[in-house]
Amino acid sequence: MAERDLYKILGVNRGASQNEIRKVYRKLARKYHPDINPGNKEAETKFKEIAGAHDVLSDPKKRKLYDEFGAAGLASGFDAEKARTYNQWQEQASRTGGWAGGGARAGAGGGFSAQEFDMSDLGNIFGDLGGMFGRRRGQARTGPIPGQDIEAAMDIDFLDAVRGFQTALSLQRPDSTGAMRPETIRVNIPPGAEPDKRIRVPGKGEAGVRGGPPGDLYITPRIRPHPFLTRSGRDLTMDVPITVGEAVRGATVEVPTPTGPVKVKIPPGAQSGQLLRVKGKGVPAHGKSPAGDLYLRLMVQVPKDGVAPEAVEKIDQAYTGDVRKDLRL
């Protein structure tokens, strides 16, 4: 099945700026997020598509590879330089009707010869997990040889990364003879998985040779952004809208957290942008790592219409000084 165009998934053109992509993503994520559409599988699938497209197009390096090579450029183990070299060789070969230079090195006319481009590299250009199993160069030919490690990337939803979860991972692993075998393994993702911080799964790498121990599997998480939450270490931050009355009088409001809703007391005279700390409601504790905190950024929402002029005047009269008196550059 053909790969869907990531730009079309977000509904932006190929020249869209990072700011445009971010704005469109936030709008779509709010519309299709599973928390807003509980039980709606179609919305969940759409959200995953949107998040996947944003993950690539919001990263300048990934976006450049995608623009140049398409979805193949995002595969694990992909070698852009070899791919460019191969593309140049293909173009030259199509013009000359075969190997450039006829088996000898190309002359002043340019091109690539069979000697210049190692065809054994083709399998590594559009590498998947199998491409990560490098040859054991320089190792002893006798005695046990440990298996090499495998690396794989995994896309993870923001809240799954915060809470931790268990999942099944299907991959092709070579046995001691070098033959690829399909295998499904259970993987525990601990609470607080971080982007680009590898998770080790012992013994699930390449098989050893002559009794050598197997290598390990290393999973690199790619965390999808959340429309409401951001993260710093084990702490989370979330914007919480409040009314003018709640800000002035104070109030007790219910807010969601990764472990369930909690009631939070807003102090009288709360200001827009003020942070409230909810202890222990960030990333859950794991091992020696304590639980993080959840910070609520209060955002005072002013009614857009329907406010009587006399009410607005009374509010203005309550200010005792110039609210911009300390604004200096």
User: Which CATH number does the domain housing residue 219 bear?
Assistant: 2.60.260.20
Statement to judge: residues 215 and 266 lie in one domain: no
> What confidence tier does 231 reach under pLDDT thresholds 50, 70, 90?
very high
Owning domain of residue 63? 6-74
Percentage of the chain modeled with pLDDT above 70: 80
Looking at the structure, tell me whether residues 188 and 234 fall in a common domain.
Answer: no
In a domain, 97, yes or no: no
Nearby residues of 60 by Cβ (< 8 Å), 6 or more positions away: 18
Single residue among 225, 241, 275 that ends a domain in this structure:
225
Last residue of a domain, one of 225, 241, 264: 225
Predicted pLDDT at 195: 84
Statement: residue 2 has pLDDT above 80: no
Give the number of domains in the chain: 3
In three-state secondary structure terms, 264 is strand
Of 176, 206, 225, the position where a domain reaches its end is 225
Answering whether pTM is above 0.75, one says no
CATH of the domain at 66: 1.10.287.110
Burial of 162 (C-beta count, 10 Å sphere; 0-12/13-18/19+): buried
> From residue 135, how far is each of 132, 138, 144, 191, 206 by CA, in Å?
9, 9, 15, 35, 11
Q: Is residue 10 domain-shared with residue 62, that is, in the same domain?
A: yes
- In this structure, the answer to whether residues 244 and 290 fall within a common structural domain is yes
In a domain, 126, yes or no: no
- The average pLDDT across 172-198 equals 81
**Interval 165-175 mean pLDDT:** 81
Give me the phi and psi of 213, to 5 degrees please. -70, 155
